[in-house]
Structure 1
Amino acid sequence: MHVHPLITDSATLANLCVRLAASPFIFVDTEFMRENTFWPELCLIQVADADEAAAVDPMAPGIDLKPLLDLMTENEEVLKVFHAGGQDIEIVYNLTGKTPHPLFDTQVAAMALGQGEQIGYSNLVDSWLGVQIDKGARFTDWSRRPLDERQVDYAIGDVTYLAEIFPKMLERLKKTGRGGWLDQEMERLADPANYAQDPELAWKRVRVNSRKADVLGRLKAMARFRELEARGKDLPRGRIVKDETLADLAGHAPKRQADLAKVRGLSPAWAHNEIGARLMAAIEGARPLPDAEMPPRDDRKPGLGKEGSLVADLLKLLLKIRSRDIDVAAKLLARSDELEALAAGQRDGLAMLEGWRFDQFGRDALDLVEGRLAFAVVGGKLKMTRAEAA
């Protein structure tokens, strides 16, 4: 594979993208910093196909990234391959309002091949290629310039190894007949709704020990305030107000702006400055959270009950056995909340009762709940047996 020097100009990048557009798939990774900004600061883009690889410097003066971004978001003929690509996809979405499509994530594919739920990149490379990656550059400051040759070589390795692994992984998926299992997961990853950061929903990220509508309403209003302030100043949310301070203010609302001087976690200046006034306006304008927006209870789900909780535990045991037997990550077969919903009597809208998941797990789960399946110990191993008709 030909590895190019670091690309820092628009013409070289545009020519590379023309060649990559003729490939059936490309491999993509990014390096970014997000410690000091609201939006991730894109510092490097690595891209490759089966024949060539390059790192692109998005911080180079005057460079036009549009050909590369268009290749990722507009060209439906080229499959974009990532490993644990959630944050990479988020960056593309932030830049374009679109997500790479179609896409393939090797971490998700590894779940279908029995390599665990979140296999890291270095472990993936070791397991498929027997190569131990030099991790020395992992925690480098990618925003500093100039980048040295070792840093660039390390970064490009994230796509060149992927180019070797992907065909092997694809062949294994074909042999096991599990490629089709991943279609739904990949489409879910590509859904732009996963990456849109709606200020009206920002409160859901903040942990608060209350289900009172007025408390949650204040939390929603203040989280929206913080989101807009952080975006406008391009600062991390916690630099504006920390989560625990928002939660405390939601539960114990100050009456006047002057009271902000007494709030732990806020600068005394908030008692008289403009940002403090905007916070008070958010608190004063808050309305109780409507019933339709109230979060579900955490206490073993409504309607599950003690017996249902035991049934849910049996379903989790069945999931563990089944995932072991067919060598696939349990999370790919079913989620805990789905098992609890099934135990509570729900049958509609559960992914595990549809398609390949039903064949591999859902049918047995349904049979267990409805009394047609039972646990048994056979030869020292826990197995499932068909229950005899009463």
Structure 2
Amino acid sequence: METVPFIDQPEALKAFCERLKGVDWFALDTEFIREKTYYPQLCLIQVATPEEVACIDPLNLEDLSPLTHLLFDPNITKVLHAASQDLEIFFHQQGRVPGPIFDTQVAASLLGHGDQVGYGKLIQLVLGVELEKGQSRTDWAQRPLETIQLRYAADDVHYLARAYPLMRQALEDNGRLAWLEDDFQRMQDPRTYQPDPETIWRRLKGINTLRGEQALAVARNLARWREQEAMRLDRPRRWLLQDEVILDLARRKPRDLKTLERVRGLAEQTARRHGDTLLELIREGAQCPSADCPTLPPRTRLEADQEALVDVAMGLLRHLALKNDISPAAIATRRDLEALVSGDPDCSLLQGWRARLAGRELSTWLRGETGLSVRGHQLTLTHGENPER
């Protein structure tokens, strides 16, 4: 690309979007910052078709409705790579999630490119192109953006628009295109991007180390308050309370400001402004009746013979992954196999393409309907007396 169109005027945006009407798909990416905010600040939107590419400036364009109409057009597929953060931005801005989508990172796993492959690596694998990495730390909120920055941003959709048709065709050729529908539908579920202050405590780093139901109640109260306050102020959670501070407060349960202020890592400003509130939340949690205290989700605890089954299942999983030219990690983790062995009906291996590829085979093996043998130094599945075909 010699030049990259930078669209920051309403007329130019309208003209560009008019040209996109009627296309079957377009590549989409965003640049954003969120170091100082709770909600990501959208700074740039990149869009490409095989014919053209443009960088759209949401900071100077008050009305993005021509583009928004296309983002939510059910007849146009939006092609993204590692789409979750981009979809989250549009959800917070519009209250809904663009669709339909096609995530090339998810698709890459079904094409044997590994689990959660990065964009640069994917483009190298599919197109043989080495992408420039020098602008990854750009402040995308600054204006004006330099030409080299716009080219870097445009590359994120320019090559995506070249790679997508090849990847889609490869998936069609091996009969795996439809396998992705369940994954893409889940990514378009608005609940994925809706913060829930009531359950956010479960995501605290190290929450499993807390002991005692009242300690969990304190952690829940503090995490809920932090989430609501961060949303209200549009400030990062860590600016109010870091996870380790919440856990320390839950363990120590300080009863007065002097003790509270001695908790390591608690910002002086937070203690000064919100000390009384924090103490009240801690007190309520410490006095929480057992019936109202939160509980951690039960961890799968397997018997020794079940652990042995998981060990063998790991080998069978690798066998099935190798046979289908897919990374085992893209199909399941050891925890997924533990869930399968323990009989969890919500196990991811029983859903979508993972069930087709491995879950059903693993389930029939666990039921004793198939067996394992070694033939020619290779693992094989046997169905009754008949070897795997």
Q: TM-score, normalised by structure 1?
A: 0.90
Shift of 1:52: 1.7
Query: Among 68, 73, 76, which residue is 2:74 paired with?
Result: 76
* 1:247 to 2:250 alignment: no
Q: Matched residues in 2 for 1:202 and 1:254: separation?
A: 22
Question: 2:7, 2:233 → 1: CA distance?
Answer: 30
Aligned CA distance change for structure 1 residues 260 and 325 (closer, same or farther; 3 Å): same
Report the residue type matching 2:321 in the other structure: S
Residue in 2 that maps onto 1:379: 376
Do the aligned partners of 1:27 and 1:81 also contact (CA within 8 Å) in 2?
A: yes
CA apart distance, 1:314: 1.5
Name which of structure 1's ranges 99-108 and 7-16 shifts more when overlaid on structure 2.
7-16
**In the aligned structure 1, how far is the partner of 2:289 from the partner of 2:39?**
30
| Contact residue 210 and residue 247 of structure 2 kept, 8 A | no
Matches within 5 A, 1:131-146: 131-146=129-144
Cα distance, 1:129 vs structure 2: 1.1
Please tell me whether residue 296 in structure 1 is matched to residue 297 in structure 2.
yes
Tell me the number of residue pairs that the alignment of Structure 1 and Structure 2 aligns. Answer: 382
Corresponding position of 2:57: 57
Shift of the alpha carbon at 1:210? 2.0
* Shift of residue 200, structure 1, vs aligned partner: 1.1
Pair 1:237–1:359, CA change in 2 (3 A): closer
SS of 2:141's partner is coil
**What secondary structure, in the 3-state scheme, does the structure 2 residue paired with 1:99 have?**
coil
State the AA in 2 paired with 1:364: E
Compare 76-85 and 226-235 and name the one that shifted more: 226-235
8 Å CA contact retained: 1:69, 1:92: no
2:162 pairs with one of 150, 161, 164: 164
Gap change, CA 1:290 and 1:52, over 3 Å in 2: farther
Cα distance in 2, alignment partners of residues 21 and 158 from structure 1:
22
SS at match of 2:6: coil
- In 2 relative to 1, CA 256–293 (structure 1 residues): closer, same or farther, beyond 3 Å? closer
Q: Report the equivalent of 1:27.
A: 27
Residue segments in structure 1 that go unaligned for 5+ positions in a row: none
CA distance in 2, matches of 1:244, 1:229: 18
Match of 1:223 in 2: 223
Task: Provide the identity percentage.
Answer: 37
Q: In the TM superposition, what are the counterparts of 1:322-333 in structure 2 within 5 Å?
A: 322-333=320-331
- Structure 1 Cα separation of the partners of residues 140 and 280 of structure 2: 39
Aligned 8 A contact 1:260 1:268 in 2: no
Residue 372 of structure 1: CA displacement? 3.2
The one-character-per-residue Cα deviations of 1:320-364 (angstroms, maximum 9, x if unpaired) are 110111112335544544422331244x44453466544432332
Q: Please show how residues 306-345 of structure 1 align to structure 2 within 5 Å.
A: 306-345=304-343
Structure 2: which 5+ runs fail to align? Answer: none
CA contact (8 A) 2:180 2:353 kept: no
Match of 1:199 in 2: 197
1:207-246: CA deviation from partner (whole Å, max 9, x where unpaired): 2312422111111110011112222222211111111010
Distance 1:247 1:292 in 2: 16
Instruction: Calculate the TM-score normalised by the size of structure 2.
Output: 0.91
Distance 2:276 2:353 in 1: 55
Q: Deviations over 1:61-114 (max 9, x none)?
A: x53223223321x31111111001111111111111111111000010011111
Give 1:274 shift.
3.4
CA contact (8 A) 2:82 2:105 kept: yes
Q: 2:171 aligns with which of 169, 173, 179?
A: 173
Q: CA deviation at 1:13?
A: 1.4
Over the aligned positions, Cα root-mean-square deviation in angstroms equals 2.3
